[in-house]
Amino acid sequence: MSHGPDSGETDVMEPDNQHARRTALVAHSVVAKLQEMGLPNDLEDELATLSTDLGDLWSAQRELADQLEGLVRSEADWSTVGDRLVDLRATVDHISWHLRSVRRPMTKITQYAYRMAPEGDSAD
């Protein structure tokens, strides 16, 4: 797969600092929200995992959408399709890893949230 200046794609080996900053900002926003609400320090490890996984999932879903669009718009040759599918598989595997990782900390923080919620209080 070509990633030169004429291909319309960025070099895969070049860091995408803007994308990394946005992902970090999403993760930090989760931390800030829950800390502002008074999440206790004994859930600090769960919060770290939750925020990292949610930030990476947010980023990966955007990447998956871009890769899927790239597959649909790619040249009609099997080599290109194969390359695109390999990229998609790597992203799907990345998402799968974070989906498994996020479950336990999300459950613990969710349980805490419901314990702290006033009786009869529900989100709309």
pLDDT 10s digits, 18-49: 989 999 999 999 999 999 999 999 999 999 99
Residue 7 lies in a domain: no
Residue 32 lies in a domain: no
pLDDT tens-digit profile of 79-107? Answer: 999 999 999 999 999 999 999 999 999 99
What DSSP character marks residue 118?
Answer: P
Residue 49 lies in a domain: yes
Looking at the chain, the whole-number percentage of residues with pLDDT higher than 70 is 85
Residues of the domain holding 79:
42-116
Residue 14 lies in a domain: no
Residue 122 lies in a domain: no
Q: Residue 48 and residue 30: Cα distance in Å, rounded? A: 9
Domain count, the chain: 1
pTM of this structure: 0.81
Residue 19 lies in a domain: no
Helix, strand, coil: what percent of the chain each, to 5?
Answer: 75, 0, 25
Residue 91 lies in a domain: yes
Task: Give me 47's structure tokens.
Answer: 């919060």
**pLDDT confidence of 3, banded at 50, 70, 90?**
very low
**Which residues, other chains included, contact 91 with Cβ-Cβ below 8 Å and sequence gap of 6+?**
60, 63, 64, 67
Residue 25 lies in a domain: no
